[in-house]
A = this chain, B = another copy of it.
Amino acid sequence: MNQAPKLNSINKCSTCVLGQFCIPVGLSNQDLEKVDALVKERISLKKGDALYRHGNPMSSVYSVRFGTLKTEHTLADGRAQIIGFHLPGEILGLDAIGDGYHQSDAIALEDSEACIIRFTEFESLASQIPTLQNQFHRILSRELTQDQRHLLSLGSMRAEERLAGFLLNLSERLTARGYTNYEFDLRMSREEMGSYLGIQIETVSRMLSRFVEAGLIQIKQRHIKLIDIDGLYELAGLNKPADTSAIRICT
């Protein structure tokens, strides 16, 4: 997000640095070429553009190539709930497979690009390549796990805990992608954080100020630095992962 990882290729999964987070995990070179053949189109989004909208017929799923997107559900009375923030390598649109229509809106939080994976063709390729099929199932399943952790947060944790957990989760995901440890730019507004966490913008702001006072973080506008990591994990009621910097894709 600060600086994008350098992309070694323009248009191929087989050489994309995001491969290890994306569809191609574990594929042989030969199989990768078949995926290359399938994923040829990409879509560029300006900040605020929709990748898809609720109710659109679904023909593809997408992987984030660079940038950040949010997905959200909206109620009739205008209340909106952000379901997720999506970083490079993450797959979008999976919730549309069930009935063929997108269930949510996917909006770019900054200028972004997504790879288009035509779903019918992908499904038949997956049935020919067991590793690909299995990886796809893992991705779907992890998406479920992620949503369930989010449910745990919204259902059982207080505002402070939710926010601490959110910052740590973002940090972990960015670190895995090779960005600077514990220091990054938030691509979403305070309001969008609040929507994701089920709290109001004023509460987000107050909690962040409290974290600063407690020496847990430093924050200037949307640039944040996590100072007391252990303190944050404790506050969030979570366990610190063994080594968040184990996986790095650029130096």
Interface residues of A (CB under 8 A from B): 73, 75-77, 79-81, 83, 94-99, 103-104, 123-124, 126-128, 130, 133-134, 137-145, 147-152, 154-157, 195-198, 237, 239
Contact = CB atoms under 8 A, between A and B. Distances in A.
Nearest to A100: B138
A32 to B, nearest CB: 18
A237 B76 contact: yes
A73 B134 contact: no
Contact of A154 (B98, B126, B137, B154): B154
Contact of A147 (B123, B130, B147): B147
Contact of A155 (B128, B149, B198): B198
A196 to B, nearest CB: 8
Most B CB within 10 A of own CB, among A97, A148, A154, A198 = A148
Q: What 4 A-B pairs have minimum CB-CB distances, sorted nearest first?
A: A155-B198, A97-B141, A98-B141, A98-B142
Contacts of A97: 137-138, 140-141
Given A127-B130, A133-B126, A148-B83, A141 B77 contact: no
A97 B196 CA distance: 25
Nearest to A127: B127
A165 to B, nearest CB: 11
A47 to B, nearest CB: 24
A168 to B, nearest CB: 15
B145 A103 contact: yes
